[in-house]
Homo-oligomer: A and B are copies of this chain.
Amino acid sequence: MTSEETRIGRRGRGRAARVAARSAPEAEVDPCPPGQTGGSYRPLPDSDLKTICAEAFRVLEEIGMGEVPIIVRDKALGSGAQLNDAGRLCFPRPMVEDIIAGAAKRFVYHGRDPRHDFEIGGDKVYFGTGGAAVQTLDRQTGLYRPSTLADLYDFTRLIDTLANVSWFTRCCVATDIPDNFDLDVNTAYALLAGTTKPVGTSFTQPDYVAPVIEMFDMALGGAGRFRERPFCKAHISPVISPLRYGEDAVGVTLECIRLGVPINAIIAAMSGATAPATPAGFLVQSTAETLAALILVNLFAPGYPMIFSNWPLVIDLRTGAFCGGGGEISVMNAASGQIGRHLGLPCGVACSMSDAKAVDAQMGMEKALSALAAGLGGANMIYESAGMMASLLGASFEAFVADDEMLSHVHRTIRGIEVNAETLGFETIREAVAGEGHFLGAPQTMAAMQRDYFYPNLADRNEPQTWAEAGAHDLMTRARTRCDGILSSHYPAYIDPAADAAIRDRFNILLPRARMQPA
Contact = CB atoms under 8 A, between A and B. Distances in A.
A51 B369 CA distance: 30
Interface stretch (A104-112, A280-288, A493-501, A511-519): A280-288
B9 A133 contact: yes
B423 A279 contact: yes
Given A242-B432, A277-B448, A474 B316 contact: no
A460 B426 contact: no
A28 interface: no
Nearest to A319: B21
Contacts of A399: 361
Contacts of A248: 2
Contacts of A424: 51-52, 55, 278, 280-281, 284
A365 B364 contact: yes
A157 to B, nearest CB: 22
A444 B173 contact: no
Contacts of A330: 372, 409, 412-413
Interface stretch (A41-49, A69-77, A223-231, A296-304): A41-49
Nearest to A467: B357
Interface in A312-361: 313-323, 325-328, 330-332, 335, 355-361
B459 A132 contact: no
Contact of A452 (B278, B321, B433): B278
Contacts of A80: none
Interface string A410-433: 111101111110111110111011
B242 A433 contact: yes
A125 B491 CA distance: 49
Contacts of A6: 237
Interface residues of A, number: 178
A140 interface: no
A499 B437 CA distance: 49
A54 to B, nearest CB: 10
Contacts of A452: 277-279, 328
A81 to B, nearest CB: 17
A133 to B, nearest CB: 7
A360 B428 CA distance: 39
Given A135-B464, A278-B448, A416 B242 contact: no
A11 B391 contact: yes
A366 B459 contact: yes
7 contacts: A143-B464, A277-B448, A283-B417, A327-B412, A327-B415, A362-B402, A365-B402
Interface in A240-289: 242-243, 246, 248-249, 251-252, 266, 268, 270, 272-281, 283-285
A359 B142 CA distance: 18
B327 A11 contact: no
Nearest to A313: B8
Given A7-B266, A279-B417, A361-B402, 7 more contacts: A9-B134, A11-B393, A26-B318, A321-B461, A332-B417, A365-B365, A390-B463
Contact of A13 (B9, B51, B135, B320): B320
A426 B320 contact: no
Interface stretch (A113-121, A148-156, A202-210, A214-222): A202-210
A325 to B, nearest CB: 7
Given A278-B448, A360-B360, A41 B41 contact: yes
Interface string A369-382: 10011001000000
Closest 3 CB pairs of A and B: A327-B412, A3-B202, A364-B364
A41 B249 CA distance: 37
Interface stretch (A58-66, A93-101, A159-167, A191-199): A58-66
